[in-house]
Amino acid sequence: MKKKIVSAGLLCIFFFSPGVLSAETAKVITKENALREDCRFLSPVKARLKYGDQLEILSGDADWFNARYKNKKGCIHSSAVKEKKISLAGLAAPGSEPATEDEVALAGKGFNPQVEDSYKNRHADLDFRKVDSIEKYRISEEELFTFIRKGGLHQP
Amino acid sequence: MKRGIVLLLALAFLSSCATVDMGEIREHMGMITATAGAARKAMRPISDEEEYYVGRAVAARILSSYPLSTDQRLAAYINMVGQTVSLHSEKPCTYGGYHFALLESAEMNAFACPGGIVFITRGMLNAVNTEDELAAVLAHEIAHVNKRDGISAIKQSRWTEAVAIIGSTAAREYGSTEFSQLVDIFEGSVDDVVKTIIENGYGKSQEYSADKTALVYLSKSAYDPSALKNFLERTVEGGNASGGGLFKTHPATADRLENIKDDLPAEGADILMAQKRAGRFISEIR
């Protein structure tokens, strides 16, 4: 009996302690980003990332995470990802969950390109091509690196 | 006695676990997850991606009143300064990134669209004297983006309604009526933000906070934080501080100066480098 209780207790601890089964993953939440060699911006890029890419978080602090993406290890800024703890897999009753934020996003709901298109149709006077041109305008990382260095500014 | 009670409680807990089968655990966990999911969904803020689309529409609205400069050299320079500061902010990565653009308007103004598009007018560019002052103006706008001040201008009731449409089970397959309602809400949200940043201005506390935060970004970037003070002081002395544009939507400049005076670092930035940057500013701007 004692043995049974102890086993049941251990089973409870096993299932109800999130730390036991959890693994840290993170999803890229920016349109584009990069896994970098060192934990600083403008460091060489090891992998290009896009929205929704999944990373395994190895370690990190408030600003930077050491992460793995498709067998490549590198750094990504914490503001570029949303952490996700995977735990207690399979315990939730299948099909019982409401739409999560991710599901909604994946289903293309919310304020999204379709909503923007409808808004554009209602406001033909607004020129979104100019907005696109502002977003497409890029300065290279090399240019920015030189600009910062020549100005005696801090490398981010 | 105490030990006995603890032992009894522990035994009660363990025995309750032992009598619940896995099917029941699964069922309970399902209910807990569903309830937590629904609660999280009901409270969820506007996502970075949604903020980005609001910001694009706000930018389009601003561009319908202010012409976009076609000067590529100035665009490059403003972007270099802005990107440097934004990378030292607490949120250097937004969904669509930071973008800085010049508006051909004599009005002295700057606007931060939700998500990261920042506009500065020709009038403002002419009013700043150095690269560090330009960085100070952009840092203030970046602080508004970081603190989501634009998004916070959206009426709560609008977003609550949007969440009800987006988050309902039907959201997985909503039809044209719900979609049309969502576009109405999007339109209203864009109106709320435009009205705030162009006509009414943010709250005083948001402006004061943006000034203080700008000092932090400037320090982290190695720009001179005193540049913000110098710029504000000059506008007071020049009698510009009561005009339209920026001054219509911001607190009194004297109050802004008072707000930051205790946050200025005792030691200024490297003077030689600041002078070098001032020279770079003149060659790029004039």
Confidence of residue B43 (pLDDT cuts 50, 70, 90): low
Where on the phi/psi map is residue A3: left (φ > 0), alpha (ψ -120 to 50), or beta?
A: alpha
Tell me the chain A residues in contact with residue B169 when contact means C-beta distances shorter than 8 Å: 98-99
Taking residues B113-127, report their average pLDDT. 97
Q: Is the pLDDT of residue B102 over 60?
A: yes
The residue from A86, A111, A128 where one domain ends is A86
Q: Which of A63, A87, A89 is nearest to A76 (CA)?
A: A63
Phi, psi of B121 (to 5 degrees): -85, 160
- Domain assignment present for B247: yes
- Domain assignment present for B203: yes
Task: Check residue B243 and give its pLDDT.
Answer: 57
Lowest mean pLDDT among A140-144, B29-33, B39-43, B114-118: B29-33
Same domain, A113 and A137: yes
- Domain assignment present for B217: yes
- Domain assignment present for A5: no
Task: Check residue A8 and give its pLDDT.
Answer: 53
Distance of alpha carbon B46 from alpha carbon A82, whole angstroms? 14
- Domain assignment present for A121: yes
Q: Closest to A91 (Cβ–Cβ): which among B26, B79, B272?
A: B26
Task: Check residue B27 and give its pLDDT.
Answer: 45
Q: Closest to A92 (Cβ–Cβ): which among B30, B92, B169?
A: B30
Q: Is residue B114 a contact partner of residue B148, using CB atoms and an 8 Å limit?
A: yes
Q: Is residue B118 a contact partner of residue B99, using CB atoms and an 8 Å limit?
A: yes
Structural domain count, chain B: 1
Same domain, A27 and A81: yes
Contacts of A21 (CB under 8 A, 6+ apart): A14, A87, A88, A89
**Alpha helices, H only, chain A:** 2-16, 18-21, 101-106, 113-122, 128-136, 141-150
- Domain assignment present for B208: yes
Same domain, A82 and A106: no
Q: Is residue B116 a contact partner of residue B51, using CB atoms and an 8 Å limit?
A: no
Where on the phi/psi map is residue A95: left (φ > 0), alpha (ψ -120 to 50), or beta?
A: left
Same domain, A153 and A120: yes
Task: Check residue B250 and give its pLDDT.
Answer: 79
Please name the residues between 198 and 257 in chain B that touch chain A, using a CB distance below 8 Å.
220-223
- Domain assignment present for B261: yes
Residue B120, domain extent: 48-151+198-285
Taking residues A69-93, report their average pLDDT. 76
Q: Is the pLDDT of residue B17 over 90?
A: no
- Is residue A28 exposed (0-12), middle (13-18) or buried (19+ Cβ within 10 Å)? buried
Nearest CA in chain B to A113: B53
**Helix, strand counts (H, E) of chain B:** 13, 3
Q: Which of A63, A76, A118, A134 to mutate to test the interface with B (most CBs of B within 10 A)?
A: A134
CB pair distance less than 8 Å for A126 and B61: yes
- Domain assignment present for B209: yes
Same domain, A112 and A81: no
- CATH number, domain of A58, equals 2.30.30.40
CB pair distance less than 8 Å for A131 and B270: no
Nearest CA in chain A to B88: A156
Please name the residues between 132 and 151 in chain B that touch chain A, using a CB distance below 8 Å.
none
The residue from A44, A59, A86 where one domain ends is A86
Structural domain count, chain A: 2
- Domain assignment present for A10: no
CB pair distance less than 8 Å for A91 and B46: no
Q: Closest to A128 (Cβ–Cβ): which among B29, B56, B182?
A: B56
- Domain assignment present for B79: yes
Same domain, A59 and A112: no
Q: Is residue A81 a contact partner of residue A29, using CB atoms and an 8 Å limit?
A: yes
Nearest CA in chain B to A14: B17
Residue A121, domain extent: 99-156
Same domain, A40 and A65: yes
- Domain assignment present for A28: yes
- Domain assignment present for B16: no
Taking residues B163-183, report their average pLDDT. 75
Q: Is residue B54 a contact partner of residue A111, using CB atoms and an 8 Å limit?
A: yes
The residue from A86, A121, A140 where one domain ends is A86
Confidence of residue A93 (pLDDT cuts 50, 70, 90): very low
